[in-house]
Structure 1
Amino acid sequence: MAIISITVGAALAKSMFSVFTPENVTVLRLSVSAVILFFGLKAWRVRFIRDNFLTVFAYGITVAGMNLFFYMSIKTVPVGVALAVELIGPLCVAMLYSQHRLDYVWILLAVIGVYLLLPKSTQVENLDVEGLLYALVAAFFWGTYILMGKRAGKYFGNKAPPLGLVFASLVVIPAGDDVLITQLLDINLLLFAVLIALLSSAIPLMLEMFALRNLPTHVYGVMASGEPVMGAIVGFFILGEQLSLLQCLGVGAIVTSSVGIALSPLYLRARNFSL
């Protein structure tokens, strides 16, 4: 559910890049989501100590970096490709924390699927190098987001997403510009921005926090490979981005990998896994 929400939100956000810059879209979605969840979940009741404050602050930084650099990437790179490159982060986490040989088979299958999703040599020249680099930076933040999100969830439970979004908003606000205030005077644009904020941050962060608190880290990392799959599907229907036959095979490989890791005997024994 989180993956569906995120990818639809990303496609809608990209459709707004003719009006908003990627930086402004990031500021909007994080700030609006922070307000909704902060008051909706009464996050002001949380009491901080030094250790848990640093944890949620670091969690907020990973949320900010993951979102900002992903949006900067999809400005010039197709959503499906950006998501495939960004998936490197969760896959690295999955490899780092895997404790069973069979898991490496599923991880390898996911890697093959990601490779098939990427453009081949005849298309690479058409890809924006800067956009791909932004996707790689987003991959780093996605990987650290998994680790910090799990720790923040232990400290704050369902209060972690709104607190993380508050810090994430503070981090990305300097990346926006003064034009944003003028643009928000258009009520239609404002409502559309609120919809994107809900789909891209508020709803999926709550769902992911539940997942991170109840799934082993490596299982979450591999199951996150479903995001490029959904991104490709949503990109086709909303943005008209089409996949080649090889990329469709890549989608199938990633789906198979996700199912395999979810049904792994290790998963069934690791419900209480902790870092």
Structure 2
Amino acid sequence: MAVVAIFAIQLSSALSVGLIESVGPAGAAWLRLSLGAVLLILIAPPPLRSIRRRDVPVLLALGAAMGLTTVAFLASIERIPLGTAVAIEFLGPLSVAAMRSGSLRALTWPLLALCGVVLLTEPWQGDINLPGVGFALLAGAGWGAYIVLLQKVGDRFTGSGVLSIILPIAAVVAAIMGVPQAAPNIDFQILLLALGLALLAPVAQFILELAALRKMTATAFGSLMALEPAVALLLGLIVLTQFPSTIQTLGIVLVVVAGAAAQRHGRRDHALLETGSSPIAPATNKSVRHPRPESEL
């Protein structure tokens, strides 16, 4: 599920370049998130009655992190190649994986990934796009926060109804800059393109990631995202005809190796979840020492 989510988000990103040219990066983010929110509300109406007061800050933070990450990342791929942007962004979740491992030795892998990023950006050439790199770093910080918060939401709720609450929050965050960018240029063709992209990401991506995080640690999930730069490089080559140099390809390899080496304990202990007919069901505070049978998932 996590791997399919990777392809969904990277294909959506590659295909978003044309949308960015028409409505700007914030406008593209706002349209994708807004239409994704509409789709999810139709699929799984938001279970507002199931949300407790203490859940609100986490949900708001998760929605804000998602909105910020989407805007910043699309702003980065407007300026730098897709594979480079994803590799820089990956420093966020890889740092989360290292910090949550509890081992100083694990810090080796973010440093190795950083070396890969240096090879990708080739600062010695003197033409590095600092705004593009900065937006990618901002997206990485948002992605790291997103992983930690998403696992908390996955532990607290079952089902996909909660996504219908998070996505509108992300859309509102993106709308602050997105509406002024997109409003003058919106037409039926742009809406249709944005709808197709929203089906890939965030809808399919978010549902798959949430399901995957219920069976994995945040460390393992963040490390598995090491495939993102390689997938982005491949789709950037196929969809956007972005040809990396030999040194840049080596940089991608270093980032992927760093993420793969950081992976530990692919499965996680599950929270014991209550069953019910509502779109999401609150989880109890009890835990089990073994994964639930597949028939219960």
With the length of structure 1 as denominator, give the TM-score of the two structures.
Answer: 0.87
Distance in 1, Cα, partners of 2:34 & 2:103: 40
In the alignment, is residue 82 of structure 1 matched against residue 85 of structure 2?
A: yes
Higher helix share: 1
In the alignment, is residue 146 of structure 1 matched against residue 144 of structure 2?
A: no
Q: Which amino acid aligns with 1:77?
A: I
Contact 2:80 2:132 in 1 (8 A): yes
Identical amino acids, percent of aligned pairs: 28
Distance in 2, Cα, partners of 1:246 & 1:161: 40
Quick one: which of 77, 94, 97 aligns to 1:94? 97
What is residue 27 of structure 2 aligned with on the other side?
A: 24
Distance in 2, Cα, partners of 1:41 & 1:108: 41
Distance in 1, Cα, partners of 2:49 & 2:37: 15
How many residues are matched?
Answer: 267
With the length of structure 2 as denominator, give the TM-score of the two structures.
Answer: 0.81
- Unpaired stretches in structure 2, ≥5 consecutive residues: 272-297
How far does the alpha carbon of each residue in 1:126-149 deviate from its partner, in whole angstroms, 9 at most, with x for none?
232112111111111111101111
The root-mean-square deviation of aligned C-alpha atoms, in Å, is 2.4
Contact 1:73 1:82 in 2 (8 A): yes
Distance in 2, Cα, partners of 1:259 & 1:54: 33
Q: Which amino acid aligns with 1:84?
A: A
- Unpaired stretches in structure 1, ≥5 consecutive residues: none
- After the TM superposition, which residues 167-206 of structure 1 pair with which residues of structure 2 at under 5 Å, given as runs? 167-178=169-180, 180-181=182-183, 183-185=185-187, 187-206=188-207
Higher deviation after alignment, 31-40 or 125-134: 125-134
Task: Please state whether the residue corresponding to 1:146 is helix, strand or coil.
Answer: helix
Contact 1:216 1:273 in 2 (8 A): no
What is residue 267 of structure 1 aligned with on the other side?
A: 265
Q: Which amino acid aligns with 1:139?
A: G
1:191 deviates by 1.1
Contact 1:94 1:107 in 2 (8 A): no
Quick one: which of 41, 66, 70 aligns to 2:69? 66
- After the TM superposition, which residues 1-275 of structure 1 pair with which residues of structure 2 at under 5 Å, given as runs? 1-44=4-47, 46-99=49-102, 110-116=113-119, 118-123=120-125, 125-157=126-158, 158-178=160-180, 180-181=182-183, 183-185=185-187, 187-260=188-261, 266-267=264-265, 270-272=267-269
Higher deviation after alignment, 102-111 or 159-168: 102-111
Relative distance call for 1:196 and 1:273 in structure 2 (3 A) is: same
Relative distance call for 1:273 and 1:243 in structure 2 (3 A) is: farther
How far does the alpha carbon of each residue in 1:216-269 deviate from its partner, in whole angstroms, 9 at most, with x for none?
11111111121111111111111111122233334444444555555xxx515x
Distance in 1, Cα, partners of 2:162 & 2:174: 18
Q: Which amino acid aligns with 1:71?
A: L
